[in-house]
Amino acid sequence: MNRTKRKKSDVLRRLWKDYKLACVATVVLGLIILLVILSPVIAPYDPAAMDLAHRLEGSSPAHWLGTDSQGRDILSRLLTGGYTALLGPLCVVGIGLAAGVPLGLISGYTNGRADNMIMRVCDVILSFPAMLLALITVSIFGRGIRNTVVILGFFYIPTIARMVRSNVIVQKEQAYVEACRAIGFSAPYIMVRHILPNCFSTIIVQATLCMGYALLDISAMSFLGLGVQEPQADWGKLLADGKNIIMTNPILAVSSGIIIMITIICINLMGEALDAYFDPRRKKV
């Protein structure tokens, strides 16, 4: 038992020594997620409740971050707005992984007509600016966080598929794949049971990095009025609301901008640390 505890403490000590920034980022991100989860309990006011008699108030004991142009408590809206700001990117990346991983496996392993067709479609999608296409598509199919998440998730599929394909091409030339073929295992069995587990580390790193980009994209869509709609709160929507009153009451724009920036930085630091941890060429000794 003591030996197990000693090993765990050694692992934690080495992680802190090699990845201090990533450890701090993980703690900060965990704190943000915890506050968002507990927002129904700790939010001092109803985030949608308007009080025009107290609109555009500054910081006070009653409203720590003041109120917006509708008299709504900024702190409460900032906490509850984290639901869509954090859950949205998770769904976007989930859609990208659900379709991109199988496509990348098939493309990399078959290396034939299916590979050419999948990659050409990915090239066509990647040849256009993703945000521009997302703006056009959301404008056609309607505003709202659901449409935004689905459309952005679609544009993350080619990136993930190409990443998985490159890993599969390397893995399928390994000796263990040749042994599986010699035994008589089918191609789907080899891809799912043997090749895919060896790609997990790269997939995890890519998914973590995509989370930061997805958060920025969803916030941008909400900022432009195509994502979250009133009275629902979102960090990008709060930033857009604060833009109009930034000269008279900058707290709304500054607070929402800072929380977006901190969250994205924490996610990117975690992604960089995971990349360094899983990549033997960058792993610290």
Domain assignments of the chain as residue spans, ordered by start: 88-231+255-278
pLDDT of residue 231: 79
Please report which confidence band the pLDDT of residue 93 belongs to, taking 50, 70 and 90 as the band edges.
Answer: very high
User: How confident is the model over 71-82, as a mean pLDDT?
Assistant: 89
Q: Read out DSSP for 13-68? A: HHHHHH-HHHHHHHHHHHHHHHHHHTHHHH-SS-TT---GGGTT--S-SS-TT-B-
For the stretch 182-209, pLDDT in tens is: 888 888 888 888 888 888 888 998 899 8
User: How confident is the model over 148-153, as a mean pLDDT?
Assistant: 90
pLDDT of residue 285: 42
Q: Which fold has domain 88-231+255-278?
A: MetI-like fold (1.10.3720)
pLDDT of residue 96: 93
Cβ(104)–Cβ(162) below 8 Å:
yes
